[in-house]
Structure 1
């Protein structure tokens, strides 16, 4: 009697990495986002770092930075609807292209062109973080969330590092050629990652209307107000970014004009200091995931960056280049090292499906701090007859105060 054929068990359906992500699922997304954010960060910082070569003083740097971050602040609320309609990967491509175009426009070397370039870079910067966070949150397990977001945000100090090293290239081939090379690399990056769009932009809502009305702002602010943790996260980002933007925008000019270092020496110190910031962001993400709660981690960073800024204010021509480098390293590592923990914790506390929206509204306060930095720093310079030491001393105080407040928050309060 012939045996009945055995029924084959159908293979299990393929696992959806977005439903139950594993650690390895995050490798490709974070690598791509790190690459794209590094290019965006490079375009943000390269003009202030190259300012002595371009011939820009503190006032011109301040106006460039103010325009850049003001543009970011007014565009970031559009990141939610734009990401929903076009997909997060398409938005990241457009952000990189906008930043590349901004750097290329700066090569015209007129004030109008440089400030216009700052506006284009600001558009790319403002729309990028919520879009990248949308991708990473889908593919990252909770156990390594702060680490992955910090790794992505390490693109910022990586951009600082490259901007500092570009000083040497600019001295060899001219700053305009260095800028054009940066723009070409950016355009290439945007095109190379096009194949990933099919998967990462799946599920986009093509009928979403791209508009932000008053009620959208009100709803976003209400979410921040009602969640005490998100409220303190947003407030800390406003304060910490004051010190971060002061460091990235003015430290090279301070070292050249007040401390008496050569531009290439100041650029090298800047680059090496922010190389430490790259690893520090990753380290702080690991700490927040495994050892110290995110809000407490941010509190410690606030205290350390404030102390480092006060030490920076003591620089003079008698300091050795090694001592200046060590203090600048500590300042850069902390003042540019908090962002990943902040973004990961804000994204984690946002209601499901509202990550890019809540993060976008929260980032308005961050960019408000970026916008406030130039007039505050220039005001401090005016009060002290142009003393960068005085400005760095006072700009450190808010970070220290907020750091203390975050450390005093009890678990049941958040």
Structure 2
């Protein structure tokens, strides 16, 4: 039998990758899909926002299901639900797309709280941030997979074929982790009533989560700003490159994949660094300033630059803008009471997901109103820079008062 933390990390990393692969397949094939369905290219942002709304609904009401059925079972549930959502989207019926997006988000929702519950119970304390960051590296890895696999399949065989390929991968992975269930779901609570998920108390869960420790409000504010920038970059990059800069779908997908791979490396490197520094909130503040600067450089200079420079700028943006999640989740799990890790993670992730929810819709609206794709990107960069400065000042002030 595998060591508990190895089994835990293997399963959560795989399913994090699968969840993101399913969710990012739509943005990757969006230029073909929107053209065939007669939609404006920027409407892919609305799909991304409704997707996030579905994840928020799970985070708000789904934590008791993680306890009742076990976190691994809920990761399998997420892959199944996400696959059904892509199947609905593949039907090519416009009114079904918002439904598919909402269901897709519900399927993605378990990856945060279920993964945190599994890892917090098994991760060696001195490597906790790194292990959480490795698990979260599955998110950009899934995006890279979408760029490298879904884009070429869509270009050759059509966007529906790309969606069906993603479904096959997701269902196969859900079956693959089944042998680990007795080990990783051993502490589930099968007698916990389902009605616990649908009480008025659940609506207060995000606020209650922030009350568990004083570091959580500034940490979650920082995560919100990161999510707004990351959501904007990853929802629109392929469509923006194809529509405004004349890239082929395969070339745009390759740059998108490069950003995602850089995010994988960034999560590992910066997770290791955060373990060494020991102050996740201050670390993320400095990280945010660098991410805002490099993302702005990519937006202003990258698409029309020579290929090597474009690749370098895309990698820089992906390395910094997509590498914060593991540090955030590890810190939430560290400061939360041991028996409330899933609840704290759900609440904190829900609040930071408001960035993923609001940014793509606001971005799409801004493109429609102004005709500019650059302006909303720079607004997202500016938001992260300002919030990072504010949170850094608050953290330094706390440190001075505690001397």
- Counterpart contact for 1:381–1:387, Cα < 8 Å: yes
* Residue 253 (str. 1) matches residue 239 (str. 2): yes
Could you tell me which residue of structure 1 aligns to residue 43 of structure 2?
60
Could you tell me which residue of structure 1 aligns to residue 362 of structure 2?
376
- Counterpart contact for 2:241–2:303, Cα < 8 Å: no
Structure 1: state its 5+ residue gaps.
1-16, 18-22
- Counterpart contact for 2:60–2:346, Cα < 8 Å: yes
Moved more, 142-151 or 173-182: 173-182
* Residue 147 (str. 1) matches residue 146 (str. 2): no
Q: How many pairs are equivalent?
A: 392
* Residue 389 (str. 1) matches residue 368 (str. 2): no
User: Which one of 290, 299, 306 corresponds to residue 304 of structure 1?
Assistant: 290
* Residue 116 (str. 1) matches residue 99 (str. 2): yes
CA RMSD between the two structures? 2.0
The alignment partner of 2:130 has SS state of helix
Could you tell me which residue of structure 2 aligns to residue 72 of structure 1?
55
User: Which one of 161, 173, 178 corresponds to residue 189 of structure 1?
Assistant: 173
Could you tell me which residue of structure 2 aligns to residue 404 of structure 1?
389
Mapped partners of 1:318, 1:287: distance in 2: 33
Could you tell me which residue of structure 1 aligns to residue 339 of structure 2?
353
The alignment partner of 2:95 has SS state of helix
CA deviations over 1:350-406 (Å, ceiling 9, x no partner): 1120011111111121221111112321233245x2111111111111111122233
The alignment partner of 1:310 has SS state of helix
CA deviations over 1:143-162 (Å, ceiling 9, x no partner): 01110010000011101111
Could you tell me which residue of structure 1 aligns to residue 8 of structure 2?
29
- Counterpart contact for 2:227–2:356, Cα < 8 Å: yes
For normalisation by structure 2, the TM-score amounts to: 0.92
User: Which one of 18, 29, 43 corresponds to residue 39 of structure 1?
Assistant: 18
Mapped partners of 1:95, 1:179: distance in 2: 16
The alignment partner of 2:160 has SS state of helix
The alignment partner of 1:132 has SS state of helix
Shift of 1:226: 5.6
Mapped partners of 2:308, 2:185: distance in 1: 47
User: Which one of 257, 262, 265 corresponds to residue 276 of structure 1?
Assistant: 262
Shift of 1:77: 2.0
* Residue 178 (str. 1) matches residue 162 (str. 2): yes
Moved more, 114-123 or 275-284: 114-123
* Residue 235 (str. 1) matches residue 221 (str. 2): yes
Greater gyration radius: 1
Mapped partners of 2:312, 2:40: distance in 1: 26
Distance change in 2, residues 1:32/1:317 (3 Å): closer
Could you tell me which residue of structure 2 aligns to residue 128 of structure 1?
111
Mapped partners of 1:178, 1:79: distance in 2: 29
Shift of 1:204: 1.5
For normalisation by structure 1, the TM-score amounts to: 0.89
- Greater helix proportion: 2
* Residue 218 (str. 1) matches residue 204 (str. 2): yes
Moved more, 179-188 or 57-66: 57-66
